[in-house]
A and B are shown apart, each in its own frame.
Chain A
Amino acid sequence: MTQNSFTRSNDRSLRPVALSVALTLAAGLTTFSAHAQESPADGVHADRVDWGILMDMSGPTASSQSVWVRGFQDYAAKVNEDGGINGRELNLLVEDNRFDAATDKIAFEKLVGQTPVIAISGMGSSVSQVALADTIKNGKVPVIGTYTPTKALSEPVSPMVYNGFCGYRQQAEAGVGYMVEKLGLENPKVMTVAIETAGGQEYAQFVADAVAKYNGTASSTTMKVTAADVTPQVQQIMSEEPDFITIYGIENTAILTMKTLAQYGLETPAFGITYLGTPSVYAALGAEAGANYNFISCFTPGGADDAEGNAELVAYAAEAGNADLSGNINYVAGWVAGQLAAQALEMAGENPTRESLVAALEGGFTVDSKGLAAPIVFTPEDHTGPQVLKMFSYDYDNSAFTADGDYADYEKYTKPAE
């Protein structure tokens, strides 16, 4: 880039400068790569493989992202207790983005160039994910198991990116489809209440697309991720009177929205995106406001059914001292992302490199989460990740999540139109 802008310059006197800059850069790169080869290439050591995680461990989104990391870490610990992957431990290196795109970029470059790691998971901030999308796709380090599935990174399909979280399009389609059917609506009026992020914009568009299929109308309102007062947004809901709303955001904004609705006596049904399905959200809302609130998820919270994977997760979380997190959907998502990472690394063979990892995944693979999610199928044409979702609510009497139906019941909402 630097070189381009220099050579494009009309000022002839700049040419020698440009040349020397280019030479210095080239020399720098050579020494750098020579240096890099001295350390274990691609983060693969004799006894361990370094694997990067980029997530917000502090800041407003940390309450959900740090829980995801705990799930991932616990699954990796379990794998390592069972002997690791092809004889090597899965060593997670977590970098804190601090909800800051600049920090995100520095941390990303550190994991790619300095540490180095074989692959990266998480990328929790949609803003920096969009900003780094080209760098990732044209780079050498695959991103396996994202926390937030933005369009910019996941479309078109790239061999460098494998999503690990419920897709926004699928969440919108399954959620809207379910609500329309359950409430028996024709021409539904739907409002998206989102935080002001790249992901929020994408989600609102997916909701609008899904609502259009039912000849309905969609609108949206946004709030800051750090919002502390959403009265104007609720005024908007009051005046538009949608049949139901869907919430995209963080736990705090979801609670804020539902609480403010309740304060004004509005009983508008609502469903939140997967991230917002946590016991603490329901605890904060209380039985009254919580009764109107569901969430759509491609993962089953710990303890919500008796699948093998679910029992394993609940047991291990208790052992690791994270019993209180096993019901948190973010913990489950992190755990499943760990399953995805472990499987990918196993496929990369005895002596994995970034290159062999990317090559091994290219032909497609399926992750079996043992019932924590529907089987996650990656094909060369589709890296969407978990695609099948269902709606959950909370049973306050028994303090447990309950799913409405099976994953298979919801496939009709997300199947591409023929």
Chain B
Amino acid sequence: MFAQVLFSGLALGSIYGLVALGFAVVFKATDVFNFAQGMFAVCGAYFAVTAISALDLPFGLAILFMIAACATLGVLAHIFLIQPLAGRSMLAIIMVTIALSIVLRAGIEIFYGPQGRVLTTPLPSGVIRIGDLRISQLHLIAALTSWACMAIFGAFFRFTSVGLLMRATADGHEAALVSGVNVNAMNRLAWAIGAVLAGIGGLFLGQLQIVSPELEAIGLLALPAVVIGGMQSIPGAIIGGLLVGLIAQFAGSYISPKSTDIVIYGLLLLILMVRPWGLLGQRELGRV
């Protein structure tokens, strides 16, 4: 049972890590604590459902459609909600992201109805058995893809010129502006990346589970993941995601399925009390 739970925890934790990475990118770039990140994941799942079931696109195109739609959503959110509030208090901006998530949820319920949707993709859904251990191929693919995405975006920030400009912008808006960096474009790009990462996570969550607005709760596990890992730390977000996945599965299996929230948010509180800058964050950078 231990190995089984470990596998599920790592697989789901990888997806949480991906969504949390998107959250951290947005936070680092624009200082916005985006409560709509969970809903972005849900939107990704619904975009995929729309592309596959309603538009009948082949799987590859459907993924591209989903990525484009998520990126657009992120950019629009930045242009119409975040940018006009530049310079306002963090609280006002947080309220806006909460409002955004409520509006998105209501929109989905109106447009798609309360009924959950099923996402059918050509990804393999079989099981690999190693002794007693059952490795679900879908979980495995979700985990591997999440890691690939994390590696790609890590390389993007590290090795490309736009990645460098984004890091510079995140460091200081004013300095970036006078250096000629189009700060708004960089911030929009950050929101697009944040939404796309959430969307990819949502795609897998929607396929492993069912596509319904309730996936938001899983998407929002990115928040404790990021706080536990360290708000300003990209590796922290990933580690935080993995930890949350493992904790959720171990607590659910060894204590009780009801205990997962208590354990996760208990750890969150503990971290906030003894190490508010998170496991991998840097003390002087802790802004919360």
Within 8 A of A (CB), among B188-237: 205, 208-210, 212, 214-218
Is A284 a contact partner of B118 (Cβ separation < 8 A)?
yes
Chain B residues lying within 8 Å of A221, measured Cβ to Cβ, are: 257
Is A231 a contact partner of B125 (Cβ separation < 8 A)?
no
Within 8 A of B (CB), among A200-253: 221-223, 226-233, 235-236, 238-239, 251-252
Picked from A228, A232, A233, A238, the residue with its CB within 8 Å of the CB of B205 is A228
Is A232 a contact partner of B260 (Cβ separation < 8 A)?
yes
A226 to B248 alpha-carbon distance, docked (Å):
16
From residue B168, how far is it (CB to closest CB) to chain A in Å? 38
Is A59 a contact partner of B208 (Cβ separation < 8 A)?
no
Is B114 a contact partner of A63 (Cβ separation < 8 A)?
yes
Chain B residues lying within 8 Å of A63, measured Cβ to Cβ, are: 113-116
Is B116 a contact partner of A255 (Cβ separation < 8 A)?
yes
Is B8 a contact partner of A235 (Cβ separation < 8 A)?
yes
- A390 is an interface residue with CB less than 8 A from chain B: no
Take A58-B109, A229-B12, A232-B260 as given contacts and tell me if A263 and B214 are in contact as well, using a CB distance cutoff of 8 Å: no
CB closest chain-A residue, reference B208: A263
Most buried by A among B12, B116, B139, B217: B116
CB closest chain-B residue, reference A278: B115
Chain A residues lying within 8 Å of B258, measured Cβ to Cβ, are: 196, 222
Q: How many residue-residue contacts, CB under 8 A, span A and B?
A: 103
Is B127 a contact partner of A263 (Cβ separation < 8 A)?
yes
Chain B residues lying within 8 Å of A262, measured Cβ to Cβ, are: 125
Is A255 a contact partner of B114 (Cβ separation < 8 A)?
no
CB closest chain-B residue, reference A231: B8
Is B136 a contact partner of A280 (Cβ separation < 8 A)?
no
Is A232 a contact partner of B252 (Cβ separation < 8 A)?
yes
- B88 is an interface residue with CB less than 8 A from chain A: no
**Count, chain B residues at interface, CB 8 A:** 39
Is A263 a contact partner of B125 (Cβ separation < 8 A)?
yes
- A60 is an interface residue with CB less than 8 A from chain B: yes
Within 8 A of A (CB), among B119-176: 120, 125-127, 129, 134, 136, 138-139
Chain B residues lying within 8 Å of A252, measured Cβ to Cβ, are: 116, 210, 212, 214
Picked from A231, A239, A251, A264, the residue with its CB within 8 Å of the CB of B116 is A251
Chain A residues lying within 8 Å of B210, measured Cβ to Cβ, are: 228, 252, 255-256, 259, 284
Most buried by A among B4, B138, B210, B248: B210
- B30 is an interface residue with CB less than 8 A from chain A: no
From residue B276, how far is it (CB to closest CB) to chain A in Å? 28
- B242 is an interface residue with CB less than 8 A from chain A: no
CB closest chain-B residue, reference A255: B210
A265 to B133 alpha-carbon distance, docked (Å):
11
From residue B15, how far is it (CB to closest CB) to chain A in Å? 10
- 7 A-B pairs (CB sep. < 8 Å): A228-B215, A232-B248, A232-B260, A233-B257, A235-B252, A256-B209, A263-B138
Question: A228-B210, A236-B253 are known contacts; what are 13 more A-B pairs with Cβ within 8 Å?
Answer: A60-B114, A63-B113, A228-B214, A231-B8, A232-B249, A232-B257, A232-B260, A235-B1, A235-B249, A251-B115, A259-B208, A263-B138, A265-B136
Chain B contacts to A: CB under 8 angstroms: 1, 4-5, 8, 12, 109, 113-118, 120, 125-127, 129, 134, 136, 138-139, 205, 208-210, 212, 214-218, 248-249, 251-253, 257-258, 260
Chain A contacts to B: CB under 8 angstroms: 58-60, 62-63, 66, 196, 221-223, 226-233, 235-236, 238-239, 251-252, 255-256, 259-260, 262-266, 280, 283-284, 286
